[in-house]
Structure 1
Amino acid sequence: MHLFPARSLAVSFLALSAAAILRAQAPSAKPSVVLVELFTSEGCSSCPPADALLRQIDHTQTSAGQLIVGISEHVTYWNSLGWSDPFSSSIYTDRQSSYGQRFNLDSVYTPQMIVNGSDQFVGSDKASLIRAIQRQPADHQPVTLNISSVNRTGNSLAVTFSAAGAIPTNGTDIIAVLADDTDQSSVQRGENSGRTLTHVAVARSLTRVATLKSAEEKTISVALPSSFQPTQHHHLILFAQALGYGRVLGADSKPI
């Protein structure tokens, strides 16, 4: 783990079996979703094990049948320390900072995982990940999100989705993330100099597209980022989050 601005802190990477949280066969019913956000940077030497852990679990299912959906959010505060991460954005730095305030952390750090907006821990700590996932209700999500259609119109996507269930009376934010399925980078400088790094579910945009106070069907427009490559595989992640960077209440994901 790297606290920032501190440069190093030893972290043990626990080699636990993936079988503790995953299973190979998918259930027939649409599973509930566990959203795993990873705040990472290519400039951080502690981050590749966390990137590898996210690759291991992204779009797999738990023994309870939940679908794990990952988002790799690359922060910017390492960019001045030898290597400018090509996937980084201040959007993710600001989001992590807001989480830091919510969790009363002394400092933001990389790598950091946040599960369903409710648990945070060092992003390479598989044991903490297992415990956080096991704490998520397997048979119920407060909000059921369903992406019914995604259509490209020029430089944006027209997304129709429905939201149902126990929507908070004070509202819930609907967040849209456009992510590359996979990305790879040859790092030339900094702590990971000479390494080729591979990432999954790399966020290229993250936008609050609506705030809902009741169940409804809605069509929204999501702008395509300048980094969008039509020949590359992408997916859209839509999730409902309690106001103030609170608990993730429901999510859905769809290839685009």
Structure 2
Amino acid sequence: MPRGLFPCFGGRSASSEPDAAPTADQAAEEDRRAGPVVAELFSSQGCGTSPEAELLMSRLGRGDSNLEVPVIVLAYHVDYWDYTGWKDPFASSQWTVRQKAYVEALKLDTMFTPQLVVQGAAQCVANDLDAVVSAIRSAPRFPLPKIQATFQRTSPETLQVSLSGALRNKVDDQGATVMVALYESGLVTECTTGANKDRVLPNDFVVRKLEKICSVKDISAKKTITGTATFSLWEGFNSRKSGVAVFVQNGSHRVFGAQNFQLPENL
């Protein structure tokens, strides 16, 4: 871990022959590696070391790195640091419960921030650059789903997201859940108390809402799934700053397929 960063605990070969067409196995491998990695950050404005993790994950989520792996960043602000003097405006007990489920699934001893969970299968301290890069590069990759999304403001306070398409990953008889997260970027908060007193904190990819689209079981990779989620919107919602991530998660909390959508600007 870099000094001073502590978690808050609580092509082509040289051959002159023409390039051969890829074999079926090679094509399948390239397809498998096409999909993004879901990186879930558990953070808090009440944690003194979370801001560094937020900046790191913002860069990775925007593609401002040489990581060469597409990443979908989802930042969940937990609420268990709110008692220390600063109430995180984006914190929710729902995200604390989600982190606790990962702690149990990954057989960890405790919850802490900033924590990064990658594809639901591995975790690390989120402001440790080397650990973050290693976890993302070594994460399992899956084909990119072929899902179409439509968005509708059914009322000034409500956004409806409808999805239809193929997951492109087989789901066995253990089943899986298709989740959709509505997130917001470009957030800026002036902290007046707490561990980050007098700091201006930028936050991106902050999950504001998370809903289940549908549950699936024993289906082929080509099977079309459909579903709709309705989100109640927060004051100041701006579609230009928001996006939607769809991901598939099994009962062991492993993520095996994800797709990202930017919202229409005129929504």
Pick the TM interval, shorter chain.
Answer: 0.7 to 0.9
Q: Deviations over 1:87-107 (max 9, x none)?
A: 001111000011111111111
Deviation at 1:63, TM superposition (A): 6.2
Other-structure match for 1:75: 78
Cα distance change, pair 90–227 in 1 and its aligned pair in 2 (3 A):
farther
TM-score for both structures, normalised by structure 2: 0.79
Deviation at 1:135, TM superposition (A): 1.2
Other-structure match for 2:255: 248
Q: Deviations over 1:36-82 (max 9, x none)?
A: 11000001101111011111100428868532110110000000110
Other-structure match for 1:184: 188
Question: Which piece of structure 1 moves more, 145-154 or 90-99?
Answer: 145-154
| Cα distance in 1 between the residues matched to 2:250 and 2:186 | 29
3-state secondary structure, aligned to 1:80:
helix
| Cα distance in 1 between the residues matched to 2:45 and 2:99 | 16
3-state secondary structure, aligned to 2:84:
coil
Contact residue 151 and residue 159 of structure 2 kept, 8 A: no
* Structure with greater strand percent: 1
1:152 matches 2:153? yes
1:52 matches 2:55? yes
Other-structure match for 1:239: 247
1:120-131 paired onto structure 2 within 5 Å: 120-131=123-134
Deviation at 1:232, TM superposition (A): 5.1
Deviation at 1:236, TM superposition (A): 0.6
1:86 matches 2:93? no
| Cα distance in 1 between the residues matched to 2:70 and 2:64 | 5
| Cα distance in 2 between the residues matched to 1:118 and 1:54 | 18
Aligned equivalent of 2:207, options 180, 188, 203: 203
Aligned equivalent of 1:175, options 179, 192, 196: 179
Contact residue 149 and residue 159 of structure 1 kept, 8 A: yes
1:117 matches 2:123? no
Cα distance change, pair 129–147 in 1 and its aligned pair in 2 (3 A):
farther
Cα distance change, pair 147–124 in 1 and its aligned pair in 2 (3 A):
farther
Code of the aligned partner of 1:76: D
Structure 1 runs of 4+ aligned residues shifted over 4 Å read 61-65
Contact residue 176 and residue 222 of structure 1 kept, 8 A: no
Deviation at 1:182, TM superposition (A): 1.9
3-state secondary structure, aligned to 2:120:
coil
Cα distance change, pair 153–3 in 1 and its aligned pair in 2 (3 A):
same
| Cα distance in 1 between the residues matched to 2:110 and 2:200 | 28
Deviation at 1:167, TM superposition (A): 1.7
Deviation at 1:228, TM superposition (A): 5.6
| Cα distance in 1 between the residues matched to 2:34 and 2:236 | 29
| Cα distance in 1 between the residues matched to 2:40 and 2:231 | 21
Code of the aligned partner of 2:9: L
3-state secondary structure, aligned to 2:131:
helix
Give the gaps of 5 or more residues in structure 2: 1-6, 11-32
3-state secondary structure, aligned to 1:164:
coil
Give the gaps of 5 or more residues in structure 1: 5-29
Other-structure match for 1:166: 170
Contact residue 75 and residue 92 of structure 1 kept, 8 A: yes
Code of the aligned partner of 1:165: N
